[in-house]
Amino acid sequence: MQLPTHVTIKEVGPRDGLQNEKTHLSTTDKVQLVNLLSHTGLNYIEVTSFVHPKWIPQLADAVEVLQAIKRQKNITYAALVPNMRGLERALQAEVDEVSVFMSASESHNQSNINKTIKDTFPIIEEVVTGAKVAHKNVRGYISTVIGCPYEGYIQPEKVLRVTEKLLEMGIDEISLGDTIGVGVPTQVESLLNELLKRYPVEHFAMHFHDTRGTALANILKSIEMGITKFDSALGGLGGCPYAKGASGNVATEDLLYLLDGMGIKTGVEMNKVLEAAFFIEKKLGKIVASKQMAIVRNERSAIQ
Ligand code: HMG
Ligand code: MG
């Protein structure tokens, strides 16, 4: 397999991770988490989400968090934005990059953002235009690219249709989300074959939830197909509250173990990611799911 020399890790823990937690962290703790992550070597952190606070109460303090973090020069601090009201709030908080989102499957789109796919396009287009006027890059998430909690397997053509529209709008990068973590490498291959026939690989990042333990296998398949950008969340936190059965993202530290071991550079330091993961574990008052954290936790308790 031809390996890339470098892979970019996009940390989505403060957003995808915290949006699905029963425990609501204080604004101060969220700020501290982002500040810890800012010293790991990551150059992309999705900090929060400007969705409706009633839909995701965990992130209702999005403006306050984004305004209070200590920004590092070479890091992009991004946030999720569903519509113009969200964009207004995100710009007020001086977001660096805007992430719009929708689904490849009609029923998840409806349950997550209360619209049909057709009615979502003009809303996203308005956000993209507004963000570009404000000189912000726009990332576009497509959810349920392999499986939907309501519709089952999703044909790659459905993902292609949404991709076409989003790229036409001038979105810079598409993150393909296996929202409920059902995909396996052969399905990832079919999906990417369909998309890469038409679009350069640089347009795409992958966003794997690890519900069934297939995320790293899917990442390896994606690397084999030329993808070099991956979303992950420290501790393996995450999930979409509007996708039944969705659980954590691939853990940043487990992804890092894989990439470090294969000699692929990321610029991210394992020890510092683990430090941030221990911080969040303590604040959430629960054991996080990552394999690396389990190893270090056992080592630490053996020493004590
Ligand atoms: P809606 O109720 O249809 O909104 O929700 P609306 O446009 O009809 O507006 C209703 C009221 O909400 C209005 O207020 C708006 O101003 C207000 P009123 O005039 O009645 O007083 N409003 C807002 N207030 C604050 N911020 C806003 C906002 N928007 C409207 N942004 C909406 C539509 C999209 C807002 C709602 O469905 C929503 O917030 N959904 C978000 C759900 C969500 O966050 N899901 C998780 C993130 S996606 C994910 O995790 C997947 C991903 O990780 C990739 C993967 O894993 O696949 C990205
Ligand atoms: Mg997600």
CA distance 276 to 256: 14
CA distance 248 to 232: 9
Locate the domains of the chain by residue range: 8-303
DSSP run (H or E) holding 106: helix 106-113
- Which ligand 1 atom sits nearest the alpha carbon of residue 177? 57
Q: Which two tokens stand for residue 104?
A: 């490849």
238 pocket-lining for ligand 1 (C-beta < 6 Å): no
DSSP-based three-state secondary structure for 208: strand
**99 alpha carbon – ligand 1 mean position (Å):** 13
**189 alpha carbon – ligand 2 mean position (Å):** 20
The rounded Cα 189 to chain-centroid distance in angstroms is: 20
Pocket test for ligand 1, best of 16, 49, 50, 52 (most atoms within 8 A of CB): 52
Contact between 222 and 264 (Cβ < 8 Å): no
The residue-averaged pLDDT of 145-156 equals: 97
301 pLDDT band, cuts 50/70/90, is: confident
Q: Which residues are catalytic?
A: 240
The residue-averaged pLDDT of 295-301 equals: 91
Contact between 225 and 199 (Cβ < 8 Å): no
pLDDT higher than 90, residue 246: no
- Which ligand 1 atom sits nearest the alpha carbon of residue 101? 58
Contacts of 37 (CB under 8 A, 6+ apart): 11, 13, 14, 45, 234, 273, 276
CA distance 77 to 47: 6
**164 alpha carbon – ligand 1 mean position (Å):** 23
pLDDT higher than 80, residue 304: no
126 pocket-lining for ligand 1 (C-beta < 6 Å): no
Q: How far is CA 153 from CA 110, 150, 294, in A?
A: 17, 9, 32
pLDDT higher than 90, residue 34: yes
Percent of the chain at pLDDT above 90?
Answer: 96
Which option is the CATH number for 8-303: 3.40.50.300, 3.20.20.70, 3.40.50.2300, 3.40.630.30?
3.20.20.70
- Please give the backbone phi and psi of residue 245, each rounded to the nearest 5 degrees, phi first: 90, 0
pLDDT higher than 80, residue 66: yes
CA distance 223 to 297: 30
pLDDT 10s digits, 201-224: 999 999 999 999 999 999 999 999
DSSP-based three-state secondary structure for 211: coil
The residue-averaged pLDDT of 151-176 equals: 98
Largest CA distance in the chain: 58
The residue-averaged pLDDT of 62-89 equals: 98
Q: How far is CA 32 from CA 70, 84, 249, in A?
A: 9, 28, 21
Mean pLDDT of all residues belonging to the chain: 97
pLDDT score for 244:
83
- Only one residue has tokens 């398949």, namely 221
49 pocket-lining for ligand 1 (C-beta < 6 Å): yes
